[in-house]
Chains A and B, each alone.
Chain A
Amino acid sequence: MYLLLVFLSIIGSCLAGLFGRYLGSWGSAIITTSCLFVSFLISLFVFYEVALVGCVVYIKLATWMSSEVLHIDWGFMFDSLTASMCVVVTFISFLVHLYSTEYMSHDPHLPRFMAYLSLFTFFMLILITADNFVQMFVGWEGVGLCSYLLINFWFTRIQANKAAIKAMILNRIGDFSLLIGIFLIFINYKAVDYATVAVLTPFFKAKSVNFLNIDVNLLTLIGIFLFIGAVGKSAQLGLHTWLPDAMEGPTPVSALIHAATMVTAGVFLVARSSFIYEHITHVLEYITIIGALTAFFASTTGLVQNDLKRVIAYSTCSQLGYMVFACGLSNYSVGIFHLTNHAFFKALLFLGAGSVIHAVNDEQDMRKMGGLKNLVPFTYSMMVIGSLALIGFPFLTGFYSKDLILEVAYGKYTLLGYFSYFLGTLGAFFTAFYSTRLAYLTFMSKPTGHRKVICYAYDSGPQISIALGCLAIPSMLVGYYTKDMIVGVGSHFFGTAIYVNSQNINIFDAEFISTFYKTLPVKLSLLGVISAFILYNFQSNLLFKIKVSNLGKKIYTFLNRKWFFDKIYNEYFGQFFFKFGYSVSYKFIDRGIFEILGPTGLSMIALKVGSSLHKMQTGYIYHYTLVILIGATFLFGIRQVWLLFGFFIDYRLFILIFILAFFIINSLNDKKITE
């Protein structure tokens, strides 16, 4: 049954993908959706048995690799961390499947789409249920691959192709460093399963390894490399540029990638590797900084985006920043708690956005919507619930996790704690601002869309409404019901799944920070909501004046161009690698060195030597006699020369001379051609 949870999705995927032609759109949709529904029910059971009752389940399926000390099993481990992730993933994925059956119903490739979605879910389940790093890497790569396939689903659009390639490549950068991390673990621990690594880690505290000729602490190195992997997958600052571009795929895909599955993998990895990170506090500090910066960066960028989905994408990026810095401050359970809550309301937001986009004839620009409040009331209410949960409106889901993150950040009483607290609080203000802006521009302002579009806007059909409704309930209630269970003081929920060094625990300190700082995030969020509403409703002229003023224009451009990250990457990295690829690796090495030393060069030089030797036969007798004379002299003299200089000549020099001869003859030839 535990295995069924994982493998139902691949069964559905194979059926829909391989036999989609015979099953038809509806057949494959029903099969995949029902598979996911069953696996959601099973995951509920798993959650009950593993997380609530407390029976950790470990299933060793088969041996995968066994060679010398390398021993890797197909093992599935269900502890409370995995179980809670399983519930989230299968729930969101099931609803996304259900939603897609209507959202994509007019697409001729619905079976393929459903197959990809199910495959994605399967790989995500493999990722979270793995009991070793290598199996986790299978899932890690699998979700990367599936994100490529799904972003590129409408493969006839060049933007989708570019976005998919970008997502794949930026993820590969992270995957590469994750691989290095796994290699380092294997080389030093001689094992890759979590249990062994966790047990052995304290013994490696002082061990340093030689990496690129520098002696570094082993755990530091592993921690950094694993974290760079997480940076790529979770779109943290540095490797975040793929995430907003991934909006090119269909909306359910965005919901799946950005809410429940792919981007959460990075946070999951950090939480799963807590037994390593807890021994290297300085790496945790870097994680905190990166997370806090991401939270701030993405929320400021979200302020001025005009694409409905892009705003939500930046919001995802920002919320992931919160999770990561929560993990960086050793509050992994809080990070995971925010992850689960975020999954619900972000999926709600994305699916609601999809419903809006559906209603206004696939228009994504918020400036061309407006006034949809009365036209799509159900979607409107769902989006408002999602937005309020996102901005941490009191007693909705987001409030419980986000405020807790900020509280524990302040309760750390370190410089980094304050740093991340203030960036996070400012980010919360901006989050509230852009969420309100989104809601206002889309629903409340005067209609600004085309008359033909607005007139035919209507609420979506049953499947979309059911999916939205099912997500709205946990978006409101999950935080309230599970807070004490997951992150309550003294809660035993995660048990051994997450290890926190007793020196790093500060959940008690967070209880005693002053009320002002405790309530500051909520106050700022509410201020953000109110100010955004007032500014957009009554003072839009003032906003316009700010936008066209000299300083305002600069700030607007800076934020609207996403802090120029893309520009810098394209101009400095992209251009550099293109140039390198053409002029160095292609023109210099492939067409240069390999051409001269390779078969082409050899045959060309043999020909050239032959022709020049042939030229020595001039046909003049006196030339022949001269050659004979020289030859005879040489033959007589060579022995004497050898006796004198033989001692100094190294045979290996001949190889050098041989290679040099290639270049000399080649350059002579070039000179002749140019002349």
Chain B
Amino acid sequence: MLTISINYILSLTCIIFFIGLIGIVLNRKNILIIIMSIELLLLAVNLNFAAFSIYLDDMIGQIFILFVLTIAATESAIGLAVITVFYRLKNSIQLDPIRKKITKKV
């Protein structure tokens, strides 16, 4: 049986997680990419759960994965719905227009 050390898997999930984070932070324009990055974060977490579930030989991790998948699907569905409504209002899905004007007065 091909065995891989859990460390590699954890590093992989970490890397995926950070790619997701950087995607959120560095992305300045597109909301779709943010939702994709959030999916990436959730996937990294899922992979982590899976790895630990196998490593620790525990079922709860896999059950958790199923829940997370469900929540992730609903979340992206709602997010896409928000984006479409937003697109209908603003005719773009750029991030900048969300920003309110800050009153300079203190």
Interface residues of chain A, those whose CB is within 8 Å of chain B, are: 607, 610-611, 614, 617-622, 625-626, 629
Contact = CB atoms under 8 A, between A and B. Distances in A.
Contacts of B100: 619
Contact of B99 (A611, A620, A625): A620
B79 to A, nearest CB: 13
Contacts of B96: 620
B106 A622 contact: no
B24 A610 contact: no
B46 to A, nearest CB: 20
B95 A621 contact: yes
A618 B28 contact: no
B98 A607 contact: no
Nearest to B24: A625
B4 interface: no
B2 interface: no
Interface string B63-106: 00000000000000000000000000000000110111010001
A618 B106 CA distance: 14
B95 A611 contact: no
17 contacts: A607-B106, A610-B106, A611-B106, A614-B106, A618-B102, A619-B98, A619-B99, A619-B102, A620-B95, A620-B96, A621-B34, A622-B24, A622-B25, A622-B26, A622-B27, A622-B95, A629-B21
A617 B26 CA distance: 17
A609 to B, nearest CB: 11
B75 to A, nearest CB: 16
A620 B102 CA distance: 11
Interface in B1-47: 21, 24-28, 34
A626 B25 contact: yes
A630 B27 CA distance: 17
Of B24, B26, B95, most buried by chain A (CB within 10 Å of CB) is: B24
Contacts of B106: 607, 610-611, 614
A618 B99 CA distance: 8
- In order of increasing CB-CB distance, the 10 nearest A-B pairs are A619-B99, A611-B106, A625-B24, A626-B25, A625-B25, A622-B25, A619-B100, A622-B28, A621-B95, A620-B99
Contacts of A629: 21, 25
A270 B34 CA distance: 95
A607 B27 CA distance: 33
Contacts of B28: 620, 622
Interface of B: 21, 24-28, 34, 95-96, 98-100, 102, 106
A634 to B, nearest CB: 15
Contacts of A614: 106
B106 to A, nearest CB: 4
A452 B21 CA distance: 108
A621 B34 CA distance: 10
B85 to A, nearest CB: 17
A611 B102 CA distance: 12
Most buried by A among B25, B28, B95, B96: B25
Majority-rule SS of A interface residues: helix
Contacts of A607: 106
A626 B106 CA distance: 24
Contacts of A620: 28, 95-96, 99
A570 B14 CA distance: 80
Contacts of A611: 106
Contact of A621 (B21, B98, B102): B98
B102 to A, nearest CB: 6
Contacts of B34: 621
B64 to A, nearest CB: 21
Contacts of A622: 24-28, 95
A607 B106 CA distance: 9
A620 B34 CA distance: 13
A330 B98 CA distance: 98
B104 to A, nearest CB: 10
A622 B25 CA distance: 5
A186 B21 CA distance: 79
B89 to A, nearest CB: 17
B33 to A, nearest CB: 11
B78 to A, nearest CB: 17
A617 B104 CA distance: 12
Nearest to A607: B106
Nearest to A612: B106
Contacts of B98: 619, 621
Nearest to B102: A619
A617 B99 contact: no
Query: Which residue, A617, A625, A626, has most C-beta atoms of chain B within 10 A?
Result: A625
Contacts of B21: 625, 629
Contacts of A617: 102
Contacts of B99: 618-620
A380 to B, nearest CB: 84
Nearest to A623: B25
A13 B98 CA distance: 87
A345 to B, nearest CB: 79
Nearest to A614: B106
Contacts of A621: 34, 95, 98
B31 to A, nearest CB: 9
A610 B105 CA distance: 12
B101 to A, nearest CB: 8
Nearest to B100: A619
A338 B70 CA distance: 117
Contacts of B95: 620-622
Contacts of A625: 21, 24-25
Given A620-B99, A621-B34, 9 more contacts: A618-B99, A618-B102, A619-B99, A620-B28, A620-B96, A622-B24, A622-B27, A622-B28, A625-B24
B87 to A, nearest CB: 17
A407 B99 CA distance: 103
A640 B24 CA distance: 27
Contacts of B102: 617-619
B44 to A, nearest CB: 15
A618 B98 CA distance: 11
